[in-house]
Amino acid sequence: MRDFPLNNVSPFATMPDGQAHGAIHIAPVRTGFVFHVLGQATGTIDQTRQQQLQKMMDAIAPDLGGELRVLSPGQWFWVGENDVSQGRFGEIAGQLPGEFALSDQTHGRVRLRVTGARVCDVLAKGVMIDLDEGIFGVGQSAMTQIGHIGAMVTRLDRDSFEITVLRSFADSLWHELHHMAAEFNGPHS
């Protein structure tokens, strides 16, 4: 548990929402939380363990909601839309069984949403996974890269994706996504 308060400031704070009328909408997610859950490192992604963890989370913190996005064997991002105070985070971290460690990454991993009918055409310019709905369906997440920037890509809906990126890369990725979307958004939109 850290002994200093973290001040969550969006890296996108000064950026105007300039493409509200474009075909591709790119918007920061300014609320909610990202917790990094670290379990025992094993050689496989264990679905049963994930379900047990989800049950524990629901019991410990029913107020938070949110979902688990698998990152690696024994590692998840617990992501939700409600803001969580640092006191509440400490309570939750203390209640999880000792085999799990919880780290508040809300300040370190920032989220943005990319939405629009041609969103797959935009993302396909950079992401390294197949975005076909039959392969990467709604609700699925993948840790991958967008160009050279590591990011977690989550499909929220057919034409809507959430991207979780390290804060220090967020600004670069933001501009890259706008370049990738430019052909669909036009110069004045």
Among residues 76, 89, 92, the alpha carbon closest in space to that of 143 is found at: 76
Kind plus residue range of the DSSP H or E element containing 116: none
Q: Output the smallest distance, CB 110 to other proteins, in A.
A: 19
- Alpha carbon distance, N-terminus to C-terminus of the chain: 45
Residue pair 28/111 in contact by the 8 Å Cβ criterion: yes
**Helices marked H in the chain — which ranges?**
47-60, 86-95, 119-123, 167-185
Q: Which of 143, 160, 176, 178 binds other proteins (CB under 8 A)?
A: 143
Please, which residue, 28 or 73, has the CB nearer to other proteins? 73
Binding segment (CB under 8 A) for other proteins, from list 87-95, 136-144, 155-163, 168-176:
136-144
Q: Which of 34, 37, 71, 96 binds other proteins (CB under 8 A)?
A: 71
User: Rule CB under 8 A: which of 37-56 touch other proteins?
Assistant: 41-45
| Residue 177 backbone dihedrals phi, psi, to 5 degrees | -60, -35
Q: Which of 73, 100, 121, 169 binds other proteins (CB under 8 A)?
A: 73
Q: Is 128 in the site for other proteins (CB under 8 A)?
A: yes
Give the integer Cα–Cα distance in Å for 119 and 117: 6
Query: Beta strand pairing status for 33-38 and 101-104?
Result: antiparallel
- The distance of closest approach from Cβ of residue 71 to other proteins in the complex, given in angstroms and rounded to an integer, is 7
Q: Does 129 bind other proteins (CB under 8 A)?
A: yes
Of residues 26 and 152, the one with the C-beta less far from other proteins = 152
Of residues 31 and 144, the one with the C-beta less far from other proteins:
144
Asked if 126 and 147 touch (Cβ cutoff 8 Å), the reply is yes
Residues at the site binding other proteins, with contacts judged by CB under 8 A: 41-45, 71-73, 128-130, 142-145, 150
